[in-house]
């Protein structure tokens, strides 16, 4: 372990980790580019580097991109990554009120806390958490997706009914493409571009970019002030006050634990963790009615959770070779290219590399914290530009980003159609948009795991309900769903009174 | 409970106003879309249609509940004056419609004249549409430079293969 620690402090490695983290922040902040894409694009660069240097750089990109998504979510209301959607709900509102610096501080410190916590967990408890995560089969994943769907209530704003309708729309969209039962096509209208279903990031850009920019245009149409937000004092570092730290430290621990556990469960990711973190922050808050209006906890909760995933997702990867999410699946490729096989041998024969990689995550978290509290604040200047400058640039960036995902000129069309529908659904019904993405994320997981559970129950000649409730983790997750629903109902009653 | 239980005569009087509410119209459009999708689900195999049908029916039920609850609620007669005059409102609608039309033209032009040229044209046209007052030449140059930089970064650093449209015939 100590040899790994010494190895990481070579100037060359520190430079590579810093470079990877900076690049990751930029990739995360640009809508359309995700951590997965960043790691995948830069894997060829690591061929010429030695194993630890290559992995440390990829780890830097992963941590930086997970944090970077919050910057555009806070400053322009467009989440750079799906994991930053929950952050944009309160972060953007804070920025509009002139508290962008505080929101950026909350995002940097929350992300750092979650990242460091999950890296410590990875260092100390990797084998134990990996064993627990392996107990998650299809029935458990189905119950987990149901648990995720109950989070819609937290993201629905004033009307839960509207949130549920939006979640249903997301679930219906998620059924587009090849069905997991027969391999037949559903809702594709004979268009080959829809055979693979809707790309989540393309829909995300459409939902959050076009309506947001048009609403900003409408809001400033009558006024003389023709920029998105008010100017802010940029002197000093982005820091939280001692009272804010004290008030949120417990929330930080809760959300870090959530992020680490969610990250360790294969098939889930930082987007789900961020939504659960947001729900948790709202649940424990004394003022849940203020969520969505620009509250610090609304940024700390999701940011701590989604960065908690970074270390968590590496636990099953390094110990069992099971990737926790898409980024760690790409990282697995990076490991194999370097001739490293995940498992017991990685922590014994290649201990310097594996522990060096884990320590590089600590360094990466410190790098983005330093940049987050000192440099990122200058991005606030971007939002002071007049709307006739920033609006076309954001639209072009969205179209370029959506095109870049699959090199397909069909995706910008999807962005336009989704943006148009999102605009009218906001205008007509004030439909919340975040539940649509929850439905889109959880739909495939729910359907696939349900179909596998049905097959498993049939093979055991049991009723599916009995089969699900014969598994201890499913019972625990059902209790969690019931508790969440109870807490939500209590919260609604509190908010309405 | 609902105010209509106290005064039943209220149901008929305001019903048309309630039916014409924007949110009721929105929920009705969602219901119509769900009906079309439910019909389409009959073209799939029985197993493949289970999940979509459950979700469609659940969403349709929620939409019906929403419409019913909206119809039963009293109509709010807000007295707050509108922020924009009728003329300004119309001008705003025209501007928004124009921006959407420009975005549509932009995404359609990508395949025809290529990504870079369509992006530049869209940028200039969009700036002219939403400007308030005169834009200096440096404003145009700055935005064109930024768009070019975005294009360059994505093409060269992230190896995105942007379409050149009809101009691809010039690429030997």
Residue A384, pLDDT above cutoff 70: no
Mean pLDDT, rounded, of chain A: 83
Q: Is residue B80 part of a domain?
A: no
- Which residues in chain A have their CB less than 8 angstroms from residue B58's CB? 168
Least confident of A35-44, B5-14, B56-65: B5-14
Average pLDDT over residues A34-55: 77
Residue B3, pLDDT above cutoff 70: no
Q: Inter-chain contact A217–B115, Cβ cutoff 8 Å?
A: no
Residues B147, B96, single domain; the answer is yes
Q: Inter-chain contact A161–B66, Cβ cutoff 8 Å?
A: yes
Average pLDDT over residues A463-492: 83
Rounded Cα gap, residues B104 and A473, in angstroms:
49
**Residue at which a domain ends, from B41, B72, B103:** B72
With tokens 């809760």, the residue in question is: A254
Q: Measured between CA atoms, how close is B169 to chain A, in angstroms?
A: 18
Q: How many CB pairs below 8 A link A and B? A: 166
Residues B32, B108, single domain; the answer is no
- Which residues in chain B have their CB less than 8 angstroms from residue A164's CB? 59, 62
- By Cβ distance, the residue of A187, A221, A399 closest to B107 is A399
Q: Inter-chain contact A416–B48, Cβ cutoff 8 Å?
A: no
Model pLDDT, residue A32? 62
Q: Inter-chain contact B110–A409, Cβ cutoff 8 Å?
A: yes
Least confident of A224-228, B35-39, B159-163: A224-228
Q: Inter-chain contact B44–A186, Cβ cutoff 8 Å?
A: yes
Specify which residues A177 forms β-bridges with: A186
Rounded Cα gap, residues A83 and A86, in angstroms:
7
Please give the residue range of the domain that contains residue B67: 3-72
**Residue at which a domain ends, from B14, B42, B72:** B72
Q: Which long-range contacts (CB under 8 A, 24 or more apart) does A479-488 make?
A: A480/A147, A481/A143, A481/A146, A481/A147, A481/A150, A484/A147, A484/A150, A484/A151, A484/A279, A485/A150, A485/A153, A487/A283, A488/A150, A488/A153, A488/A154, A488/A160, A488/A283
Specify which residues A186 forms β-bridges with: A177
Model pLDDT, residue B172? 45
Q: Is B19 on the interface with A (CB under 8 A)?
A: no
Q: How many domains does chain B have?
A: 2
Rounded Cα gap, residues A118 and A305, in angstroms:
10
- The 10s digit of each residue's pLDDT in A263-299 is 887 666 788 889 889 988 988 888 888 888 889 999 9
- The 10s digit of each residue's pLDDT in A326-381 is 777 778 777 877 788 777 777 778 888 888 999 999 999 999 999 988 888 777 76
Q: Which residue has the higher pLDDT, B120 or B154?
A: B120
Model pLDDT, residue B36? 95
Q: Is residue B48 part of a domain?
A: yes
Q: Inter-chain contact A393–B56, Cβ cutoff 8 Å?
A: no
Model pLDDT, residue A113? 95
Q: Inter-chain contact A392–B55, Cβ cutoff 8 Å?
A: no
Specify which residues A227 forms β-bridges with: A386
Q: How many C-beta atoms surround the C-beta of residue A345 within 10 A?
A: 12
pLDDT band at B107 (very low <50, low <70, confident <90, very high): very high
**Interface mutation vs chain A, best among B37, B92, B103, B141, most A CBs within 10 Å:** B103
- By Cβ distance, the residue of A41, A217, A424 closest to B159 is A41
Residues B61, B91, single domain; the answer is no
Q: Is residue B47 part of a domain?
A: yes
Residues 115-134, chain B, touching A (beta carbon < 8 A): 115, 119, 122-123, 126-127, 130-132
- Which residues in chain B have their CB less than 8 angstroms from residue A212's CB? none
Q: Is residue B115 part of a domain?
A: yes
pTM exceeds 0.90 for this model: no
Model pLDDT, residue B74? 65
- By Cβ distance, the residue of A168, A415, A423 closest to B62 is A168
- The 10s digit of each residue's pLDDT in A411-460 is 999 999 999 999 999 888 888 887 888 788 788 888 888 888 988 998 98
**Residue at which a domain ends, from B72, B102, B123:** B72
A87 in Cβ contact with A74 (< 8 Å): yes
Model pLDDT, residue A497? 60
Q: Is residue B49 part of a domain?
A: yes
- By Cβ distance, the residue of B49, B110, B123 closest to A392 is B123
Residues B91, B150, single domain; the answer is yes
**Interface mutation vs chain A, best among B118, B130, B137, most A CBs within 10 Å:** B130
Residues B105, B147, single domain; the answer is yes
A392 in Cβ contact with B143 (< 8 Å): yes
Which of the residue ranges A279-283, A333-337, B86-90, B153-157 has the most confident prediction, judged by mean pLDDT?
A279-283
Model pLDDT, residue B5? 41
Average pLDDT over residues A131-149: 80
Residues B127, B64, single domain; the answer is no
Q: Which residue has the higher pLDDT, A486 or A193?
A: A193
- Which residues in chain A have their CB less than 8 angstroms from residue B150's CB? 393, 396-397, 400
Which residue does chain B place closest to A183, by CA atoms?
Answer: B48
Least confident of A95-104, A355-364, B1-10, B17-26: B1-10
Residue A158, pLDDT above cutoff 70: no
Q: Is this complex's ipTM strictly greater than 0.95?
A: no
Residues B21, B97, single domain; the answer is no
Q: Inter-chain contact A416–B123, Cβ cutoff 8 Å?
A: no
Least confident of A188-192, B32-36, B157-161: B157-161
Average pLDDT over residues B137-160: 84
Q: Is residue B78 part of a domain?
A: no
Residue A256, pLDDT above cutoff 90: yes
Model pLDDT, residue B138? 85
Q: Is residue B7 part of a domain?
A: yes
Counting residues of chain A whose pLDDT is more than 70, the rounded percentage is: 89
Residues B93, B151, single domain; the answer is yes
Specify which residues A185 forms β-bridges with: A178
Residues B61, B110, single domain; the answer is no
- Which residues in chain A have their CB less than 8 angstroms from residue B49's CB? 186
With tokens 């372990």, the residue in question is: A1
- By Cβ distance, the residue of A162, A175, A400 closest to B52 is A175
Of A42, A91, A94, which Cα lies nearest the Cα of A65? A42
Q: How many C-beta atoms surround the C-beta of residue A455 within 10 A?
A: 13
Mean pLDDT, rounded, of chain B: 81
Residues B96, B42, single domain; the answer is no
Q: Which residue has the higher pLDDT, A371 or B83?
A: A371
Q: Inter-chain contact A184–B154, Cβ cutoff 8 Å?
A: no
Q: Inter-chain contact A172–B142, Cβ cutoff 8 Å?
A: no
The 3-class SS string of B25-60 reads HHHHHHHHHHHHHHHHHHHCCHHHHHHHHHHHHHHH
Q: Is residue B81 part of a domain?
A: no
Model pLDDT, residue A420? 94
Of A280, A325, A324, which Cα lies nearest the Cα of A302? A280
Rounded Cα gap, residues B132 and A226, in angstroms:
8
Q: Inter-chain contact A450–B51, Cβ cutoff 8 Å?
A: yes
Q: Inter-chain contact B22–A429, Cβ cutoff 8 Å?
A: yes
pLDDT band at B101 (very low <50, low <70, confident <90, very high): very high
Model pLDDT, residue B44? 85
pLDDT band at A209 (very low <50, low <70, confident <90, very high): confident
- The 10s digit of each residue's pLDDT in A9-33 is 888 899 999 999 998 888 888 766 6
- By Cβ distance, the residue of A175, A221, A403 closest to B92 is A221
């Amino acid at each position: 372990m100590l040899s790994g620690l010494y190895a990481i402090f070579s100037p060359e490695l520190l430079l590579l980790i810093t470079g990877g983290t900076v690049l990751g922040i930029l990739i995360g902040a640009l809508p359309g580019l995700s951590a997965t894409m960043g790691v995948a694009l830069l894997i060829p660069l690591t061929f010429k580097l030695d194993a630890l240097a290559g992995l440390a750089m990829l780890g830097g990109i992963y941590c930086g991109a997970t944090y970077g998504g919050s910057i555009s979510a806070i400053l322009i209301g467009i989440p750079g990554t799906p994991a930053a959607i929950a952050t944009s709900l309160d972060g953007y509102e804070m920025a509009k009120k002139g508290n962008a610096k505080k929101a950026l501080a909350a995002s940097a410190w929350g992300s750092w806390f979650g990242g460091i916590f999950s890296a410590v967990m990875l260092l100390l408890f990797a084998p134990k958490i990996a064993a627990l995560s392996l107990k998650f089969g299809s029935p458990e994943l189905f119950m987990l997706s149901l648990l995720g769907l109950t989070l819609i209530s937290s993201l629905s704003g004033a009307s839960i009914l509207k949130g549920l309708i939006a979640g249903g729309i997301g679930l219906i969209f998620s059924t587009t493409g090849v069905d997991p039962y027969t391999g037949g096509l559903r809702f594709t209208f004979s268009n080959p571009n829809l055979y693979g279903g809707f790309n989540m990031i393309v829909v995300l850009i459409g939902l959050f970019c076009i309506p947001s920019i048009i609403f900003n245009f409408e809001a400033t149409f009558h006024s003389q002030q023709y920029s998105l937000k008010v100017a802010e004092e940029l002197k000093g570092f982005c820091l939280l006050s001692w009272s804010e730290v004290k008030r949120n430290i417990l929330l930080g621990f809760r959300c870090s634990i959530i992020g680490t556990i969610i990250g360790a469960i294969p098939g889930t990711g930082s987007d789900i963790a961020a939504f659960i973190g947001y729900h948790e922050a709202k649940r424990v808050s004394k003022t849940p009615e203020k969520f969505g209006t620009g509250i610090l906890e609304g940024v700390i909760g999701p940011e701590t959770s989604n960065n908690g995933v970074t270390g968590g997702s590496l636990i099953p990867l390094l110990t069992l070779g099971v990737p926790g999410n898409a980024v760690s699946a790409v990282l697995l490729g990076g490991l194999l290219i370097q001739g490293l096989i995940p498992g017991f041998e990685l922590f014994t024969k290649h201990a310097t590399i594996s522990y060096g990689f884990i320590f590089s995550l600590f360094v990466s978290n410190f790098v983005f914290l330093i940049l987050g509290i000192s440099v990122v604040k200058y991005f606030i200047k971007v939002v002071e530009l007049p709307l006739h400058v920033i609006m076309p640039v954001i639209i072009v960036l969205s179209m370029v980003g959506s095109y870049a995902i699959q090199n397909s000129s069909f995706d910008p069309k999807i962005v336009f159609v989704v943006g148009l529908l999102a605009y009218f659904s906001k205008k007509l019904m004030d439909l919340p948009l975040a539940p649509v993405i929850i439905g889109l994320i959880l739909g495939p997981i729910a359907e696939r795991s349900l179909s596998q559970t049905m097959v498993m129950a049939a093979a055991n000649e049991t009723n599916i309900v009995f089969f699900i409730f014969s598994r201890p983790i499913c019972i625990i997750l059902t209790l969690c769903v019931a508790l969440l629903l109870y807490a939500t109902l209590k919260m609604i009653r509190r908010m309405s009174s | 409970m609902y105010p209509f239980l106290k005064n039943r005569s209220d149901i008929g009087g305001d019903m048309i106003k309630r039916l014409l509410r924007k949110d009721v119209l929105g929920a009705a459009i969602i219901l119509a879309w769900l009906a079309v999708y439910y019909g389409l689900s009959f073209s799939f195999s029985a197993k493949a249609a289970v999940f979509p049908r459950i979700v469609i029916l659940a969403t349709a039920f929620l939409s019906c509940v929403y419409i019913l609850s909206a119809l039963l609620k009293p109509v709010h007669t807000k007295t707050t004056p509108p922020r924009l005059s009728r003329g300004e409102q119309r001008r705003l609608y025209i501007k928004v419609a124009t921006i959407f039309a420009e975005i549509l033209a932009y995404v359609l032009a990508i395949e025809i004249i290529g990504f870079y040229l369509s992006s530049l044209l869209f940028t200039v046209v969009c700036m002219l549409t939403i400007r308030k007052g005169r834009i200096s030449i440096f404003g145009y140059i700055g935005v064109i430079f930024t768009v070019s930089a975005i294009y360059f970064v994505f093409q060269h650093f992230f190896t995105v293969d942007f379409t050149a449209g009809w101009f691809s015939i010039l690429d030997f």
